[in-house]
Amino acid sequence: MPAKPLVLADVEIAVGPRVLLRRLNLTIGAGETHILFGPNGSGKSSLLSAIMGLPPYHVTRGEVRLGGERIDNLPVDARARLGLGMAFQRPPELDGVTITALARALRADAGLADAAAVLDLADFVRRDINVGFSGGEIKRWEILKLFLQRPQICLFDEPESGVDLEHIAAVGAAMERLLGRDGTGDQRRSALIITHTGFILDHVQAGMGHMLVNGEIICSGDPNRLFAHIKSHGYTLPPWASEPAAAASDERIAS
């Protein structure tokens, strides 16, 4: 399955009557990596969940398109089969369902041992998913899950938070490998990555960053520059930043 661009055009996201995000315009081109910054409660996880199609998040305005096909009305499994995958911030515990059982259900048992070793989870394959996992183990498992699933567009919700300094390099390397940037010849996947710490910027090459405040993308630009700005000035509009509705991004949405 070739990578396809993911496009959000004037999207509003709500839970029931409550609008959480609005006026979202975002294009992630095939093979691109984007970073999403924003304070707690700004709507980052809600955005990823809505793109993935997870209840109770609904797109109540605008469109989400994957390679030209509208996906915002499709159920979550259909979106997954079209190539979307997500590493959850707070995944549920699945009593009695082992990592091995999930790999088998995804017909990915062949690659399990290797991928698990990369993420230092070789001893976990017989354990129930997320049951009793530590914070860092959950994060590593969520990335391992994407290795089994091999989606074209990977949505990462704080993949490095809670991961210790020794494992963070492994997480970074695994993400790089998953996204096809480590030269192993795997095809390039696209990504949208939420981060607070910016750690991940040392490991994956991201082309674009976005700042989400109060349910709106207030600016986009070079992710390293954006992160440097946030570190010194908080989640404020940088003087150099392009406004989200600037001509350049409008052009991309139209394409």
Partner 1 sequence: MTTSLREDITVEEKALLAEVGYEEENERAGTCVLVDQAVRHIGLTDNAVEILPLAEALRRYDWVQDLMFGLIDPDEDERIAEVAESRHAPVGHFVRVLEGAKVRLPIQLFTLLAAPQGRQFHHNITVIEKGAEVEMISGSAVPRSVHAGHHVSLSESYLREGAICRSVSIEHWAANMEVHSYARSRLEKNAHATDSVIQLAPVKHHVSQSRSYLEEGATANDQSVIYAPVGTTRIMDSETWLKGQGSRSESITRMVTAGGVISNRSTLIGDASGTSGFLGCNGLKLTDEGEIFSVPALRALNAQAQLSHEASIGMIDQEKLSYLMASGMSEDEARDLIIQGFLNLDEQKIPEAVREEVIRAIAAARSGAM
Ligand X SMILES: Nc1ncnc2c1ncn2[C@@H]1O[C@H](COP(=O)(O)OP(=O)(O)OP(=O)(O)O)[C@@H](O)[C@H]1O
Residue 92 DSSP label? P
Q: Give the three-class secondary structure for 24.
A: strand
Q: Where are the alpha helices (DSSP H) in the chain?
A: 44-52, 76-81, 99-105, 109-118, 135-149, 165-178, 223-233, 247-254
CB of 63 to ligand X, least distance (A): 20
Binding to partner 1 by residue 88, rule CB under 8 A? Answer: yes
Task: Decide which of partner 1, Mg ion, ligand X, none touches 166; Cβ closer than 5 to 8 Å per partner kind.
Answer: none
For residue 244, give both structure tokens.
């989200």
User: Is residue 39 within the footprint of partner 1 (CB under 8 A)?
Assistant: no
Residues 6+ positions from 120 with CB-CB distance below 8 Å: 140, 167, 170
CA distance 75 to 79: 7
Question: Residue 166 in 3-state DSSP?
Answer: helix
Q: Which is nearer to partner 1, 144 or 241 (CB)?
A: 144
Of partner 1, Mg ion, ligand X, none, which one does residue 42 interact with (CB within 5 to 8 Å by kind)? Answer: ligand X
Please select the residue that binds partner 1; options are 16, 17, 68, 92, rule is CB under 8 A: 92
Q: Phi-psi category of 41—alpha, beta or left, where left has phi over 0 and alpha has psi -120 to 50?
A: left
- The residue within the footprint of ligand X, chosen from 27, 46, 130, 149 (CB under 6 A), is 46
Q: How many residues bind partner 1 (CB under 8 A)?
A: 28
Sheet with 33-37, strands from edge to edge, namely 84-87, 153-157, 190-194, 33-37, 208-213, 216-221
Answer for which of 4, 22, 34, 44 binds ligand X (CB under 6 A) is: 44
| Partner touching 233 among Mg ion, partner 1, ligand X, none, CB below 5 to 8 Å by kind | none
6-14, 15-23, 93-101, 123-131 -> range binding ligand X (CB under 6 A): 15-23
Contacting residues toward Mg ion, per CB under 5 A: 45, 89
Q: Which residues bind partner 1 (CB under 8 A)?
A: 52-55, 75-77, 79-81, 85-86, 88, 91-92, 94-97, 101-102, 105-106, 128, 145, 148-149, 151
